[in-house]
Amino acid sequence: MSYQQEYDRSISNPEVFWQEKSKDIHWFKSPETIISTDSNSVSHWFVDGELNSCYLALDEHVINGRGDQTALIYDSPVTDTQQKFTYLELKDQTALFAGVLSSLGVKKGDRVVIYMPMVPETVVAMLACARIGAVHSVVFGGFASPELKVRIDDAEPNVIISASCGIEVNKVIPYKPLLDKAIEMAECKPKHCIILQRSQSKAEMIKGRDKDWSELIASAEPVDCVPVKATDPLYILYTSGTTGKPKGIVRDNGGHAVALKYSMKALYDMDPGDVYWAASDVGWVVGHSYIVYGPLFAGCTTVLYEGKPVGTPDAGAFWRVIQDYSVNAIFTAPTAFRAIKKEDPNAEELKKYDISSLKTLFLAGERLDPPTYEWLDSITGLPIVDHWWQTETGWAIVANLKGLDAIPTKPGSATYPVPGFNVSIFDEGGHEQPPLNHGEIVIKLPLPPGCFPTIWKDPERFQSAYLETYPGYYLSGDEGYKDEEGYVFIMGRSDDVINVAGHRFSTGEMEEQIASHNAVAECAVIAVKDELKGHIPVAMVIIKNSEDISEMEIEKALAQHMREEVGAVASLKKVLIVERLPKTRSGKILRKILRKIADGEEYMIPSTIDDPLSLPEIEQHMKERGIGVFSGVKT
């Protein structure tokens, strides 16, 4: 079936479309009511169906005779460990740990916080919660105690599962002291903490509360899957707390299973037995959807990688993993390949490895800038799929679906809306924008299966943040446009728009032009308040290791290039060469904090940041260059 036929069916009659797709998963009780809309215009899918997500991920494959197939590959360059787990082995370990949780009193609907590194036990813990109908809330390993405390108090877990430490490149990060401090600060005190002791750092245990993972497993009895309603929550995942209180995104069981199973073939073109690698972290939505649940629902082999794109040990790390496990598809953030490009611009490391098994590269999590797209295209010759989605949706909103007919790609575009997502571009008055006009990206309700139905314990915030601005539509918070052929271009968050003397410029547009310079490895553009023009852009660039160019030279070159490509009104006159850009651990640049620095506003260094030292370094650099309030600009 062609993409257009599939998409049109999903929009014209979503109930029939998703009823058909729901038959691809095993239900304990098949749903008769496919969609139901509540008084707040929120849609709920498969409301009277019953299933179990762990059963779909593990038991079903074992029952169907595929228990000996590899389900999970664990590759940890930081500990020099490689392990493989068959579907049968992973099911047995999960059933035992589900027995551990049951023995500690965890039951259907209870919350369990998981604060773990990228180890197989993390996957086991998530699936064990799903097995007994408990709601897991994974918190990125290494989050600071205040961030963890907020999530504990909001989720109110009976049990917290953690490890003695995580490892960042060559640095051991003890988790237990962070956990102990978070619990001390929290109002909600968990009854039990289960601790996985790792050899790199042993944790001190608190008698009565703390339990050793290995000791509990040794005496556990396995338990079977518990049927849950399709609308029962599977997990809560908190968005990063860089802009206020984190939002607890709720994911239900039924819609999630149907959407992810559909996406594995329709979008990623993966079949049972294929090797799929999402080079992300289980602490993020990508890790939930496409390290754990999606590949296992589809009967694929999934790769769990405890390492980095560079530094573990070098810029050839990704190519080595692809070769060693005959990876068929890799999914990661563009920032990962920009890091590889910076270290190895001529892709010399790639020549050392055989990546002939790889069929497609999938990029998401941030905008895929054309220079990175073109570099990957030139060194691999493989299809490169830029797709756009959010924690809230749980799977792709816009993509080039590799499991349907081939559609030509356009650098800078994530291609077309995915079946089920009716995407429009609105101006501030809620009017549909013509082609090439920028605006807010919105999605007409109902959202398809897999998308969040609410914010945990805060339905009012769900309404005000996402549904009230344009009644009948979901507000994505991202800005972009469609071209004359309907290709969707996502240019960045709506607040990443620079207004220079009444002219609106997207940071994504300006970054695209800057990144096209041969010397630039990566860049970020922010708006700095200006007394005369409202805002002026300031660019921060990382220079390729192979280039030798001064700040004044690159500033002059980029200013001229911007005048030629965008126009003099863009007014790019300040460029800073930086060693690193401040990012969250998921790869998102902290532009809002950079703007606060430039505008002289107070800011807090968030625990989500990957490199805290980058912020004071940039602040000092701005002072030295007289940028923002440091030059007397009024705020």
| Token pair 């999934």 in the structure block, residue | 302
Q: Give yes or no for residue 634 having a pLDDT over 50.
A: no
Please report, as a single letter, which amino acid is at residue 173. I
Q: How far apart are the first and last CA of the chain?
A: 56
Give the Cα separation of 88 and 20 in Å (integer).
29
Task: Write out the E strands in 311-461.
Answer: 329-332, 360-363, 384-386, 388-389, 396-399, 416-417, 422-426, 439-444
Does residue 340 form part of some domain? Answer: no
Give the Cα separation of 5 and 605 in Å (integer).
48
Please report, as a single letter, which amino acid is at residue 72. L
Does residue 290 form part of some domain? Answer: no
Domain that includes residue 222, residue range: 86-226
Q: Given this model, what pLDDT does residue 632 score?
A: 37
Dump pLDDT digits (tens) for 400-414: 999 998 789 998 899
Q: Given this model, what pLDDT does residue 607 score?
A: 67
Dump pLDDT digits (tens) for 544-554: 988 889 999 99
Band of pLDDT at residue 244, cut at 50, 70 and 90? low
Given 226, 245, 273, the domain boundary residue is: 226
Q: Given this model, what pLDDT does residue 570 score?
A: 73
Average pLDDT over residues 600-621: 80
Least confident of 190-199, 399-408, 520-529, 581-590: 581-590
Q: How far is CA 267 from the centre of its chain?
A: 17
Does residue 272 form part of some domain? Answer: no
Number of structural domains found in the chain: 2
Q: Given this model, what pLDDT does residue 613 score?
A: 76
Give the Cα separation of 611 and 225 in Å (integer).
41
Does residue 484 form part of some domain? Answer: no
Does residue 320 form part of some domain? Answer: no
CATH number, domain at 550?
3.30.300.30
Does residue 556 form part of some domain? Answer: yes
CA distances from 409 to 264, 364, 381, 441, 544 (A): 20, 15, 13, 20, 27
| Peptide bond before residue 411 is cis, with ω within 30 degrees of 0 | no
Give the Cα separation of 492 and 477 in Å (integer).
9
CATH number, domain at 133?
3.40.50.980
Does residue 76 form part of some domain? Answer: no
Dump pLDDT digits (tens) for 450-499: 999 999 999 999 999 999 999 999 999 888 999 999 999 998 777 666 76
* Cβ atoms within 10 Å of 486's Cβ, excluding its own: 13
Q: Given this model, what pLDDT does residue 442 score?
A: 98
CA distances from 359 to 48, 109, 328, 624 (A): 39, 40, 5, 48
| Peptide bond before residue 446 is cis, with ω within 30 degrees of 0 | yes
Given 226, 259, 291, the domain boundary residue is: 226
Does residue 523 form part of some domain? Answer: yes
Q: Give yes or no for residue 529 having a pLDDT over 90.
A: no
Q: Given this model, what pLDDT does residue 498 score?
A: 75
Strands 534-543 and 520-530, by their bridges, are antiparallel
* Cβ atoms within 10 Å of 480's Cβ, excluding its own: 25
State the average pLDDT for the chain: 91
Dump pLDDT digits (tens) for 36-69: 998 887 899 999 999 999 999 999 999 999 999 9
Given 226, 248, 263, the domain boundary residue is: 226
Dump pLDDT digits (tens) for 361-378: 999 987 788 888 999 999
Q: Give yes or no for residue 531 having a pLDDT over 80.
A: no
* Cβ atoms within 10 Å of 381's Cβ, excluding its own: 8
Q: Given this model, what pLDDT does residue 614 score?
A: 82
